[in-house]
Amino acid sequence: MFEKLRIKEHMEVADHAGRHIGTVDEVDDDRIKLTRSDSEGGQHRFLNLHDVDRIDDNRVYLKQDATLPSAV
């Protein structure tokens, strides 16, 4: 299990295979807010902390069955 306090602004977020999904803007309660610059529509997208598998070398990896970020 990871500690949500280890997730910091500007960390890369990758899927289970290591493909870039986004960049952390901030952690808001039980969600990770991604930067708008990684979004096609220029909107913030969010991930549920339950979808995080691990944190390695300044990168957040998602679980294989993670729900990909949605725009809000």
* Domain that includes residue 32, residue range: 4-71
Mean pLDDT of 24-48: 89
CA distance 14 to 61: 5
List the one residue out of 44, 45, 49, 43 whose CA is nearest residue 66: 49
pLDDT at 72 over 70: no
Please give the C-alpha separations between residue 54 and each of 44, 45, 71, in angstroms, as whole numbers.
22, 20, 23
Number of domains in the chain: 1
Residue 7 CA, chain-centre distance (Å), reads 9
CATH code for the domain of 31: 2.30.30.240
pLDDT at 67 over 60: yes
pLDDT at 19 over 60: yes
CA distance 12 to 22: 6
